[in-house]
A and B are shown apart, each in its own frame.
Chain A
Amino acid sequence: MFLINCPYCGERDQSEFSAGGEAHIVRPKQPTELSDDQWAEFLFMRKNIKGVQLERWNHAHGCRKWFNMVRDTSNDKIHAVYKMGEKPPLK
């Protein structure tokens, strides 16, 4: 069970959070101009890599804020958390 450092609240138990999948997938501003394939790319395609991945997390049972996380899926190490709208910290 992770210990997650919410950028707004500090360290909290994983049970307070919910995971929201891959980060930095921006909803297209003009969906109507996209082909079926382009829209499907946004809608369905997720990388799910083994290794360092950027993820969305929500402090659901806390401040309810969404934020991003740099996590290594191979060993569950959380390298960093950062707020929505911020760039991922370079490693």
Chain B
Amino acid sequence: MSKDLRIINNKFIDQTTRISFKFDDKTLYGFKGDTLASALLANNIHLVGRSFKYHRPRGIMACGSEEPNAIVQVGNDDSMTEPNTRATEIELYEGLEVSSQNCWPSVNFDIGAINNFFSPLIPAAFYYKTFMWPANFWKIYEYFIRKSAGLGKSPTKPDKDIYDHRYLHCDVLIVGGGISGIIAAKTAAKNNLNTVLIEDKNILGGTTIFQENECFKINNSYSNEWLKKEIETLKSLKNLTIKTRTSLAAYHSYNYLLARENLTDHLDINEKKDKIRQRLWKIRAKKVILATGSMERPLIFNNNDRPGIMLSSSIKKYIDFYGVKCGQKISLFTNNDSIYETAISLNNSGVSVNSIVDIRDKTNSLIVKQAEKLGIKVHWKSSIVNTNGYKKINSIEIMQLSDDGNDVVGKKIKEECDCLGISGGWTPRVHLFTQSGGKLKFRDEDNVFLPNKSELDQISIGSCNGDFELDEIIKNAADSINKFLKVNNNDYENLEIITSKEINKKNIWLLPSDKPLGKTKSFLDFQNDSTANDVKLALREGFKSIEHVKRYTTTGMATDQGKLSNMHALGIIAETAGVKMGELGTTTFRPPYTPLTFGTIVGRNVGEFFDITRKTPVHDWHVENKAEFENVGQWKRAWYYPIENENMHEAVQRESKAARDSAGILDASTLGKIDIQGSDASEFLNRVYTNAWSKLEIGKCRYGLMLNEDGMVYDDGVTTRLSENHYLMTTTTGGAANVLSKLEDYLQTEWPELDVYLTSVTDHYGTVSICGPNSKKILSKVIPDLDLSDKEFPHMSFKNVLVDNIKCRVMRISFTGEHSYEINIQSSYAKSVWEKCFEAGKEFNITPYGTETMHLLRAEKGFIIAGQDTDGTMTPLDLQMDWIISKKKYDFIGKRSLYRSDTVREDRKQLVGLLTDDPKEILEEGAQIVAETNKQPIEMLGHVTSSYFSPNLNKSIALAVVKNGKKLKGQKLFVPMKNKTINVTITDTVFLDKENKRLNA
């Protein structure tokens, strides 16, 4: 620490506790309570990074979230390193390690800085314009751009920290703990409203808490002393929750807000362990009071970006709050009164102020007079036309302004300095207000956008509402809070307030220089390196909309979303285009206000908690038997059961063969199950399925196809009539939830007259499916009392049975084409029944099979899977399933759409079978199908939807959708692949047992 850059000031930081930290591998020291920025400045380090495009040296400019330059990489652990963090917001802690970004190889010697010499060649949209052609040159461009331009690096390993989400409901949420926020919090909480006050800094009080100046007094105390007492009184208020280090990220409609609370970032490395790092608060507030304050604007002049050029209010905060001098010989440059406060603070702390350059004519406000009394020199009606110094400013060049302010005149004065404070006036922080949908209005007098109209229950108070003077802030805030909360608090009436009033206002968006415009570098967006010239160029090239200019020049598109630059960009556009600023409008501010880490956004929903996992009641058995699992929606389904070193193909071939040769057992518990009851249940099924249901006998099952109203296949499954008015419907695994909500929709909105009740019972029953020629023998061992003869228990029928006193429903249905049973068991007993079946099947070599074998077996039979062989454009006719459409029924969902001009087209894509000429060649699912091979462009006739090698047929089989496929049976087509063309022939969709003999085998 350079001793001579610190003054003794223990009001806000603890200058007795020294803290060590590392910046670019160099160990430095600061005090407890410092930010990284204040500690660096105390070490005389201004240069912290390089600009994005020209790699110009850049220094700390501000003291809060609006900082555009001092963005650093925190931490160098693979799992915990955070890029794009603002040095002005990092609280110093023991063990902190940071490095500067966007410079290679180092901040002091940067190769990309060569861009600076070529900068006339890098105008707005340079990247768009230059790196266009030839396309294959991109590899080369990209290498260099990435190497020299990267903004920080991401961690490569999972984040070790813990993050959290919580909900919060309150009557009043106050955003911002400055003077007006404190007035609001006290008023609301005193009036029995459940109040929450959030503040992004670690203490309350905003900038007033360190305002100790004769020109700003309340009831004979300095404003900071008065405010300190107000903050004291907050402690006794029971209805008030105060959250510091909490920044509001997003403000959505209906007063739904997201705030990020920083819990451990300021703690020493060893104190952080096992604690929640950050918490995202999801807040629903009845009323919202925005007291977000304002931020100081820079001034736009030639070479306004050198390290050492800072916002004047930040220089004030560094001296008054942190006890840090930003320089020893400081010059100041302004268009308004507030810089005089900085000058007085510096003077009182023993820092010499060279002079103040003020673009205005001489003014006599209270604060100006006080500064002049202290002997501070002012250059009235003057401007800075240039600055010098490469890695740090060392001098400024001052000239007089012409009367119209468009030119500079007279003699150039050179003034040496090691720091320059600038102030271009104040911008209300209306970002959250506009995020919430609020509309702004423009105030010409001091060029500010202010909150105008909002649909939400909210107000803005203080300087974010355009009140900049102490008396106005207190009076207007107190009045509007009373009105807004419908209370009558008179604590803030009859206060005796002394405040300096700004008399003279003047603004020049782009300050003139003695050099012509093209030869100057007046930066607007410091982080993205866009200059006033870039914006003017964009306008000359015909861009009119502010949103287009923004994108073309990238002004306001960096990680700070142009907090500092937007107003000047708008001002220069308005001026150049000759329109009023109020008419131009602003760009959109999007959440988050300051960047959030991904950790905070996802909270606890990481790893196994990322999504819900659904497991069947038999799941543990599959695990014990070494199943590989497949994710089907949220379900974990057994995929295949490899034995020893089998790969998936080998396991599936074995399982498929075993199921047809003897017996297979499948866990079908994930199939959607809907219990349907009511006197109109049959009529209801008639309306939702394409086929007829009223004549289905009790105890019988039927396959049904469900369409959307547009005639396209939606879902399918078997439904069983359990009793007169009671059905059990099954759906596909993935479609279960959607089918239920679709059916509910029709019941509630179109057919409320039907007496039907739907209940999802998917999780209530486990389903064990046994198939194969020996399935009957196995079932007879499990349920000896049951008559399994074809006469008593035919295909497509159901029985209520007992397995060891466990009530089960057995359906004789088949998705494999084999003789097969599905046993539905109350979930808690499903595993024991599964085990019993498996035990009984051992003598028949019963083989557990997973979803992959199930898919193969059904493909051999040409059974579709809704969602694999259909894609929302397939009608039942396209699937060659004409048989399932009832001719007799007057109506069902989707019926009318089956004879729209488009759905009756004969050349639609239709489901067909495909056989490869080489029976060993397996097609790729999704592969395109064509009729010719040597034509370009070639028409795609369709694509492969399902493809397998069938061990039972000993050849490759596939299903496909092909244009006009119904009429193309026997036709030779081609499947072009990357390295070869596969010859195929269109066939029937049923490959095995066309006569369905196996069902009754």
Contact = CB atoms under 8 A, between A and B. Distances in A.
Contact of A43 (B252, B710, B745, B752): B710
Contact of B900 (A36, A65, A77): A36
Contact of B749 (A2, A32, A43, A66): A66
B744 interface: yes
A1 B748 contact: no
A1 B253 contact: yes
A2 B252 CA distance: 9
Contact of B709 (A2, A14, A43, A76): A43
A46 interface: no
A58 B741 contact: yes
B901 A32 contact: no
Contacts of B253: 1-2, 76
B900 A75 contact: no
Contacts of A39: 896-897, 900
B896 A31 contact: yes
A84 B256 CA distance: 28
Contacts of B901: 36
Contacts, number: 55
Contacts of B455: 75-77
Interface residues of A, number: 27
Contacts of A26: 750
A31 B749 contact: no
A16 to B, nearest CB: 13
Interface string B888-900: 0011000111001
A59 to B, nearest CB: 11
B654 to A, nearest CB: 43
Contacts of B375: none
Which of B253, B284, B900, B901 has the most chain A CB within a 10 Å cutoff? B253
Contact of A56 (B744, B749, B890): B749
A34 B252 CA distance: 45
B254 interface: yes
Nearest to A38: B896
B970 interface: no
A11 B586 CA distance: 35
A2 B254 contact: yes
Contact of A32 (B252, B256, B891): B891
A39 B895 CA distance: 11
A44 B901 CA distance: 15
Contacts of A36: 900-901
B437 interface: yes
Contacts of B897: 39, 43
A56 B745 CA distance: 10
Interface string B232-258: 000000000000000000001110100
A27 interface: yes
Given A36-B901, A60-B741, A66 B750 contact: no
Q: How large is the interface on B (under 10, 10 to 19, 20 to 34, 35 or more residues)?
A: 20 to 34
A66 B748 contact: yes
Interface in A64-91: 64-66, 75-77, 84-85
A40 interface: yes
Contacts of B284: 3, 13
B750 A34 contact: no
A74 to B, nearest CB: 9
Nearest to A64: B744
Contacts of B745: 20, 58, 66
Interface in B730-785: 741, 744-745, 748-750, 752
A85 B752 contact: yes
B252 A84 contact: no
Contacts of B709: 27, 43
Contacts of B895: 31-32
A84 B752 contact: yes
A76 B252 CA distance: 11
B748 A84 contact: yes
B837 to A, nearest CB: 36
A64 B455 CA distance: 29
Contact of B896 (A32, A56, A58, A85): A32
Given A43-B897, A66-B748, A75-B437, A32 B890 contact: yes
Contacts of A58: 741, 745
A61 to B, nearest CB: 11
Interface string A14-53: 1000001000001100111010100110010000000000
B896 A40 contact: no
A6 to B, nearest CB: 13
A67 B170 CA distance: 28
B254 A3 contact: yes
A68 to B, nearest CB: 9
A20 B742 CA distance: 11
Contacts of A66: 744-745, 748-749
Contacts of B748: 65-66, 84
A66 B742 CA distance: 11
A84 B744 CA distance: 13
Nearest to B255: A3
Contact of B750 (A20, A27, A43, A60): A27
Contacts of B749: 56, 66, 84
Interface string B874-907: 0000000000000000110001110011000000
Nearest to B740: A64
A34 B741 CA distance: 27
B893 to A, nearest CB: 9
Interface string B699-712: 00000000001100
Nearest to B891: A31
Which of B709, B750, B752, B896 has the most chain A CB within a 10 Å cutoff? B896
Contacts of A76: 253-254, 437, 455
Contacts of A27: 709, 750
A66 B747 CA distance: 10
Nearest to A60: B741
A20 B437 CA distance: 24
Contacts of B900: 36, 39-40
A30 B891 CA distance: 8
A13 B895 CA distance: 37
A1 B256 contact: yes
30 contacts: A1-B253, A2-B254, A3-B256, A3-B284, A13-B284, A14-B254, A20-B745, A26-B750, A27-B709, A27-B750, A31-B895, A31-B896, A32-B890, A32-B891, A32-B896, A34-B896, A36-B901, A39-B900, A56-B749, A58-B741, A58-B745, A60-B741, A64-B741, A66-B744, A66-B749, A75-B437, A75-B455, A77-B455, A84-B752, A85-B752
The 8 closest A-B pairs by CB, nearest first: A31-B896, A1-B256, A3-B254, A66-B748, A75-B455, A27-B750, A76-B253, A1-B252
Given A43-B709, A66-B744, A84-B749, 7 more contacts: A1-B253, A27-B709, A32-B890, A58-B745, A60-B741, A66-B749, A75-B455
